[in-house]
Homo-oligomer: A and B are copies of this chain.
Amino acid sequence: MAENDPEVRTVDIVFEAEARTLDKLKSEVTITSKYSNFEVTLQTDEGKLHGGDASAPMPLHYFAAGVVTCLMTQMKASAKRLRVPLEGVRMGASFHWRIEQSGRDPYSSVPVGFDIDIEVDSEAPLEDVKNLIEWAKKGCFAEQALALPCPVGHRLKVGEDWVAV
């Protein structure tokens, strides 16, 4: 285990979010991190076809943005540490889900495939660039959360108590 290996350093990274519903399908969320000492408040909405006002990005705009830019940051940070020259990176990504719905039930969503195409401006040998991408993938918080099964725990406030749901 990494925790028992004296040569492995570990740091805990925690992001916290406080969200509340606004009018119709709008929500507002404030995200903080002790690690970054940076707080941001964002609003989300849905399109008019789905009962929203299209007044703000949809939740999945932020989700997709977070996944891709996390990998971008890891490419740059890993390049520095691996001493791989890196002028710039461009990525084109696709996030594909399928909705399944029957009768009057709400729908269920199923992830189908997430793909990222990477273009790298670098004078480094191809093998070095491939190695850089491997490290960036391992370092990318978002990608690791997608690739590994990460059940989300939920609690509901019932009276003064928190009940697992």
Contacts and interface: CB of A to CB of B under 8 A. Distances in A.
Nearest to A120: B156
As for how many copies of this chain the complex holds, the number is 2
A47 B58 contact: no
Given A100-B8, A150-B147, A94 B16 contact: yes
29 contacts: A7-B103, A8-B100, A9-B99, A10-B99, A12-B96, A13-B98, A14-B95, A16-B93, A17-B67, A17-B94, A19-B93, A20-B90, A21-B75, A27-B73, A36-B58, A38-B61, A44-B65, A58-B73, A59-B73, A60-B142, A62-B62, A64-B66, A106-B135, A106-B136, A114-B152, A115-B153, A130-B165, A133-B165, A148-B149
